[in-house]
Chains A and B, each alone.
Chain A
Amino acid sequence: MRRMIRHGGIIEDHWLHVADDDALPEGDVIVTEARWHAERETLLARDGCIGVRIHGDTDLSALAPDLDSLAVIALEFPAFKDGRCLSQARLLRERFGYSGELRAVGDVLRDQLAYMARVGIDAFEVRADRSLEDALRAFEEFSGHYQLNPVGRSPRELRRERAAPARTAAAS
């Protein structure tokens, strides 16, 4: 079984990635977007959960009606420098209200993990040749952020609050 990071911890993962011309195995599977669209009914009828693998050019609105059926959406990072799926993740979370697992796959490396987490990705198939224990440290590097801050409010909010009592005091 694959070891990976989910919700900030290292876990054993049972999901199977299935290529387009492979027979469907038992259990929970992640298929490509093309296969999902082509074999939607068959996939829904079988036992086991379904995940779909998308990439930077995927048109999310085509997937929108199916989001409730998908337990996992795997976001493909063909190279760690390709940031398109950072936008896709935010769109899925914020615009399409997707609440299942968003999983980074492909060239997934420690130094991009924190960015991924802040746009809503919660599971990471870190590249197999890298240490997961080392990768986990990526989440401890910053205690706050100007935007999309997972560990508290943004400085703009904090500053508004700090200013508010002063203003009230001045007014009274």
Chain B
Amino acid sequence: MYRYDSFDQTLVDERVAQFRDQTRRYLAGELTDDEFRPLRLMNGLYIQRHAPMLRVSIPYGLLSSEQMRMLAHIARTYDRGYGHFTTRQNIQYNWPALESVPDILADLARVEMHAIQTSGNCIRNITSDHLAGVAADELTDPRPYCELIRQWATLHPEFSYLPRKFKIAVSASESDRAAIRVHDIGLQVVHDDDGRFGFRVFVGGGLGRTPVVGECIREFLPEEDLLSYLEAILRVYNLNGRRDNIHKARIKILVRAMGAEAFGQRVEAEWQHLRGDPRLTLAPEDVAYMQGFFQAPPYDSTADGRALKEHLDGDPAFTRWYRHNTVDHRQPGYRAVFLSLKAPAVAPGDLTDAQMDAVAALAERYGFGEIRVTHTQNLILPDVRQDALHALWQELRELNLATPNVGTMTDMICCPGLDFCSLANAGSIDVARDINERFDNLDDLYDLGDIRLNMSGCMNACGHHHVGHIGILGVDKKGEEFYQITVGGSSSNDAGMGERIGPAVAKDRVADTLESILHTFVAHREGDEPLIDTYRRIGVKPFKEAAYA
């Protein structure tokens, strides 16, 4: 993984000192609330329903064991003993005291971490494929590009006071696991006929109040021009994006108002001036430098699956877990293992300090000391020998991290919602619990195939409800918690927004409504097709009729 050199370390240390002074000036009354707000947001600090919330950056979802131990230490020392992993591969703490945030940031800096630009109207954490570097369907590792973009975006003086937040995702595989088409900029690594790497560039995707699928404005951007082209897009947005209405300020609104084609032309015109600027042009050695940090670890080429086969033959519970919570690896004899953070009765994405410490140790014993965070709010141990899977599974069970539900309906994405977020209309965590209780039969869940269930507590859509195969959105009806339910969304290559199946339902009707959706699905399903395919064949109508029969 990427390691800081003295330049990176100095910058992060100086950033901590800067924020310590800003916090001091705020507490001394030298900065108003309004003036302090963007400063604290650009260091990840929100003021929430109960207390401040601190969002820590995990660049493209990659953590070392040492970093995970620091996250545990922070949960224990400054919070209530847990953290919440988010859909943007970051972690949030819900209970830090404002006064202690500079100390938390200093602790993070000791392990090459920070909270820079995890909030505010600036370029946010760069997200990517959680299976980068181990996936079999990958063209090249996207993380060197992510790191180049991260450094370009960090404290960028021109783009730190944008009209609104700005999210960039990068994918380099055939199947898009990074949801690039629902980001402000989505970059897909491709190569041209000569085998040179470059990017297909999507802009204007996003969720929130106005969900939009991003449009391609350039089929092939040569690798060396990556930063100059990003700069051109950001400049067109910075100068032309709306600043009069917070709900109309995202780039998607600008792209829609101008039309994708006209927007693309503006970007190209701007880029003609920036293209070739030596400060923005990537030399082959710049990319090579970053690639050096993402080399394959020393795999054991003699690792094989013989012991695994015996365990699979003899242990059905293990087999279930193996089938759902592990995936193919590029290296023969290895698997990537999902740690489900969706155990029944646990808020999706939450992990305690003790679990964090334990996961850090497991990553060292069953891998090379590396952990990934997925945008579906699970963790991954990326490099596990097949012959060690059974032993790992037993340890994960002890930790309540082996619920064999990855990819099933109970592996749901869920924002912190009413319990923590001041913007929530409705609770999401207790609905998640209801759903878990109702659909607790694993064999039934497996029969239903891959179902992505996403839930947000309000229109801001932090739980990505629009792109869930089933989406649930909390709404407020005369002070009561109601839930708007959609079917048919997707964030993969075929990205699209779900359709409503009717009026919002009361909390105690959510599980019933889901059950009706599943019955309709099963009644119309052909063969083993997933829910999303059935929906695409039959449309929303049968789901509607059944739910409100």
Contacts and interface: CB of A to CB of B under 8 A. Distances in A.
Interface of A: 56, 80-84, 86-88, 90, 95, 109, 111-112, 114-119, 134, 141-148, 154-156, 158-160, 163
Nearest to A141: B18
A83 B159 contact: yes
A147 B160 contact: no
B136 interface: no
Nearest to A89: B158
B291 interface: no
B157 interface: yes
Given A81-B38, A155-B5, A160-B286, A144 B11 contact: yes
A143 B526 CA distance: 63
Given A111-B39, A154-B279, A84 B155 contact: no
Contacts of A112: 161
Given A115-B158, A160-B289, 18 more contacts: A56-B239, A81-B38, A82-B161, A83-B158, A86-B158, A111-B39, A112-B161, A115-B155, A141-B14, A143-B10, A144-B11, A145-B11, A146-B152, A147-B152, A155-B7, A155-B8, A160-B283, A163-B289
B24 to A, nearest CB: 12
Contacts, number: 97
Given A81-B121, A141-B18, A145-B11, A87 B158 contact: yes
Contacts of A115: 155, 157-158, 160-161
Interface in B231-273: 235, 238-239, 243, 273
B516 interface: no
Contacts of A159: 5, 286, 289
B22 interface: yes
Contacts of B35: 80, 109, 111
B154 interface: yes
Most buried by B among A115, A119, A141, A156: A156
B396 interface: no
B18 A87 contact: no
B156 A147 contact: yes
Contact of A160 (B31, B154, B285): B285
Nearest to B280: A147
Closest 4 CB pairs of A and B: A83-B161, A118-B157, A115-B157, A155-B7
14 contacts: A80-B35, A81-B121, A83-B158, A84-B239, A86-B238, A87-B239, A118-B157, A142-B18, A145-B11, A148-B158, A155-B151, A156-B283, A156-B286, A160-B286
A114 B157 contact: yes
B59 to A, nearest CB: 14
A95 B5 contact: no
A-side interface mostly: helix
Given A82-B243, A147-B152, A142 B157 contact: no
B22 A111 contact: yes
A145 B121 CA distance: 20
A65 B81 CA distance: 63
Contacts of A155: 5, 7-8, 151
Given A84-B239, A141-B17, A146-B151, A119 B283 contact: no
A144 B279 CA distance: 15
Given A144-B7, A145-B155, A83 B14 contact: no
Contacts of A95: 273
A150 to B, nearest CB: 10
A117 B158 CA distance: 10
Contact of A144 (B10, B17, B30): B10
